[in-house]
């Protein structure tokens, strides 16, 4: 153990809720050694056995009341979000991914045209030990849940959660063992940035979720080591309200997508662009909803219902205050909120809506990741599109408007995902790949694509037995010693096949998939 233990304090109450070791690079190395020892046996299991193990783990999570309680305590989010978003997501992810896995990992046979005497078998093999590095805002959703796809592929996983919210991850690793699953296959190693860096140094593949700055460092390290990495980074997601939109529903959706988990979600609404023709009504409906949000220290048992808990990480309040001050100095107005809640012990900031936002404001350019949303009026869809795309990030987007128009608008956005006339639930549609464009990241989670990336392909080519004599004849043509007559034949054949287009007209035998 390299340093003092990490004290985890509830952001809502300031009370100490747990302690975890700072394992440092040495602790990460030990976890990787255990994982390397356990992984071959796990990979040798049938997919169905791995699926069963992951389902047992899910059941253990569902049966353990300490899971949502711990999550609420360390993150300050409402119990509704702990269970209704994070635990639900884990269950839905496991359902969908276990169902997609047989298709994703199925071996395939490819039949080439030119080398028609051969066939190639594509075999998907696990990478080895995958490192998952997660942020503090979603202790299950962006941490342990990201282990599911690599585990299904036959990898072992070492998860490094954020030092801010590590307790839920530690509990989930304990539940993995309690479910009777092999302990070295899924481990959590707690620590600070140094531990995360060690994970990136040791893993055979990395799933990183966090800031653009750290993501760059992790990506650079993976590039040096030539191991694959998936980077899920920040967002500056636009929320566009076109003329003709259902303004009431748009305001309701904007309030939820901007302030769910006090605005600390990567795909949250960060900028609102509203058509001037509906802006007055939209703003007043939005403000009414936001001003009515019930904000309090969450009750871990979930008996008290409320909408907003605390901010999880103190730095986010500083960002919110900086963005508000900058916006006000450039002409924006606070429509509701705008200040810390002075009468609370924890990290509470009022949900804040700014009107009169302009593209030069920091709140429109940098990720805020806190309980603040700016509204900017636009002259129409064209201006909305230009401004929505005017960002270095491209994670998620929302469009409200008449259906066909909104879909056409969404098709022009520069974003990994967009949702029409709804918000955020696209994250829970785990059959579809989800990832960022531009500086929002590389690679995807979810879907068949999100499973296959945790494998490497071995393409094994063999001769087709019935064509063996032809194969031997052709093989001799390309073997030493070279023969000038063969060169002439190849030259003529090339002209017929490619220059005259015969090859394009011939149909190669279709690739067949075999389970
Ligand atoms: P950070 O980048 O600060 O941290 C992410 C993780 O990386 C933490 O576990 C952190 O450890 C660890 N880490 C720190 N330094 C290093 C290093 N040198 N090498 C390897 N790992 C390191 O992000 P935040 O935790 O602040 O998360 C917020 C960000 O995450 C926001 O930008 C948000 O948009 C983004 N995010 C993206 C999502 C997506 O799907 N695209 C989803 C959720 C969040 P420690 O905390 O202990 O320092």
Residues having CB closer than 6 A to ligand 1 are: 133-138, 142, 160, 162-164, 192-193, 196-197, 200, 209-211, 214, 217-218, 232-235, 266, 367, 369, 395, 436, 441
* DSSP-based three-state secondary structure for 271: strand
pLDDT digits 0-9 by tens, 28-49? 999 999 999 999 999 999 999 9
Spatial contact of 96 and 55, defined as CB atoms under 8 Å apart = no
Instruction: Give the DSSP H or E segment for 229.
Output: strand 229-232
Please give the model's pTM, rounded to 2 decimal places: 0.95
- Confidence grade of residue 66 (pLDDT, cut at 50, 70, 90): very high
Pull the structure tokens for residue 206: 């990395």
Which ligand 1 atom sits nearest the alpha carbon of residue 213? 2
Instruction: Give the DSSP H or E segment for 441.
Output: strand 441-442
Per-chain mean pLDDT for the chain: 95
Instruction: Report how far ligand 1's centroid is from the alpha carbon of 161 (Å).
Output: 9
pLDDT digits 0-9 by tens, 181-208? 999 999 999 999 999 999 999 999 999 9
Q: C-alpha angle 397/271/10, rounded to 5°?
A: 95
- Confidence grade of residue 2 (pLDDT, cut at 50, 70, 90): low
Those residues with Cβ within 8 angstroms of residue 63's Cβ, 6 or more apart along the chain or in another chain: none
- Confidence grade of residue 1 (pLDDT, cut at 50, 70, 90): very low
Q: Considering 86, 232, 283, 367, which one is annotated as catalytic?
A: 232
Give the span between the Cα atoms of 262 and 319, in whole angstroms.
Answer: 13
Give the span between the Cα atoms of 112 and 118, in whole angstroms.
Answer: 7
Pull the structure tokens for residue 137: 């805002």
Q: Considering 163, 266, 270, 367, which one is annotated as catalytic?
A: 266
Instruction: Report how far ligand 1's centroid is from the alpha carbon of 136 (Å).
Output: 7
Instruction: Report how far ligand 1's centroid is from the alpha carbon of 213 (Å).
Output: 9
Q: Which residues, in sequence order, are bridge partners of residue 122?
A: 108, 459
Q: Tell which one of 210, 236, 312 to mutate to probe ligand 1, the residue whose CB is within 8 A of the most ligand atoms.
A: 210
The gap from C-alpha 61 to its chain's centroid, in whole angstroms, comes to 21
Pull the structure tokens for residue 79: 């119990």
Instruction: Give the DSSP H or E segment for 461.
Output: strand 455-463
- pLDDT above 80 (res 144): yes
pLDDT digits 0-9 by tens, 219-250? 999 999 999 999 999 999 999 999 999 999 99
Site of tokens 């590389």: 442
Better-scored residue on pLDDT, 506 or 355: 355
Which residue has its alpha carbon closest to ligand 1 atom 16? 193
- Concerning whether 252 is annotated as a catalytic residue, the answer is no
- Concerning whether 107 is annotated as a catalytic residue, the answer is no
- Percent above pLDDT 90 for the chain: 91
Mean per-residue pLDDT, 135-150: 98
């Amino acid at each position: 153990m390299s340093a003092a233990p990490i004290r985890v304090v509830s952001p809502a109450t300031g009370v100490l809720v747990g302690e975890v070791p700072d394992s440092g690079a040495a602790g990460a190395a030990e976890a990787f050694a255990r994982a390397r020892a356990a992984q071959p046996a796990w990979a040798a299991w049938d997919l169905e056995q791995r699926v069963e193990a992951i389902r047992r783990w899910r059941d253990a999570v569902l049966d353990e009341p300490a899971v949502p309680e711990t999550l609420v305590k360390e993150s300050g989010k409402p119990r509704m979000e702990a269970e209704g978003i994070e635990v639900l997501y884990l269950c839905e992810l496991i359902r969908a991914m276990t169902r997609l896995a047989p298709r994703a990992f199925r071996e395939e046979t490819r039949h080439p045209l030119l080398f028609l005497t051969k066939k190639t078998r594509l075999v998907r093999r696990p990478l080895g030990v995958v490192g998952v590095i997660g942020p503090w805002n979603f202790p299950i959703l962006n941490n342990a849940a990201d282990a599911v796809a690599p585990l299904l592929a036959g990898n072992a996983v070492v998860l490094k959660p954020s030092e801010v919210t590590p307790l839920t991850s530690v509990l989930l690793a304990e539940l993995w063992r309690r479910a009777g699953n092999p302990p070295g296959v899924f481990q959590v190693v707690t620590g600070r940035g140094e531990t995360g860096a060690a994970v990136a140094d040791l893993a055979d593949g990395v799933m990183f979720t966090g800031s653009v700055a750290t993501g760059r460092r992790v990506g650079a390290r993976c590039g040096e080591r030539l191991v694959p990495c998936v980077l899920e980074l920040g967002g500056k997601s636009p929320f566009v309200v076109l003329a003709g939109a259902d303004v009431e529903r748009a305001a309701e959706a904007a309030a939820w997508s901007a302030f769910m988990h006090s605005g600390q979600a990567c795909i949250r609404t960060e900028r609102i662009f509203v058509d001037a023709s509906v802006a007055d009504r939209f703003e007043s409906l939005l403000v009414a909803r936001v001003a009515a949000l019930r904000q309090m220290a969450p009750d871990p048992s979930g008996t008290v219902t409320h909408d907003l808990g605390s901010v999880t990480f103190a730095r986010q309040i500083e960002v919110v205050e900086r963005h508000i001050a900058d916006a006000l100095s450039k002409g924006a107005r606070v429509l509701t909120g705008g200040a810390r809640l002075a009468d609370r012990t924890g990290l509470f900031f009022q949900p804040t809506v700014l009107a009169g936002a302009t593209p030069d404001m920091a709140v429109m350019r940098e990720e805020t990741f806190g309980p603040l949303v700016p509204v900017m009026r636009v002259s129409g869809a064209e201006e909305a599109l230009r401004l929505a795309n005017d960002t270095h990030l491209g994670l998620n987007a929302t469009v409200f408007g008449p259906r066909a128009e909104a879909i056409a608008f969404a098709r022009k956005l520069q974003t990994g995902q967009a949702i029409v006339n709804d918000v955020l639930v696209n994250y829970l549609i785990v059959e579809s790949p989800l990832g960022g464009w531009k500086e929002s990241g590389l690679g995807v989670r979810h879907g068949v694509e999100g499973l296959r990336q945790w494998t490497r392909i071995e393409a094994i080519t063999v001769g087709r037995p019935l064509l063996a004599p032809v194969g031997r004849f052709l093989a001799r043509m390309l073997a030493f010693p070279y023969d000038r007559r063969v060169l002439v034949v190849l030259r003529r054949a090339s002209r017929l096949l490619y220059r005259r287009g015969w090859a394009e007209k011939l149909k190669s035998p279709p690739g067949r998939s075999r389970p």
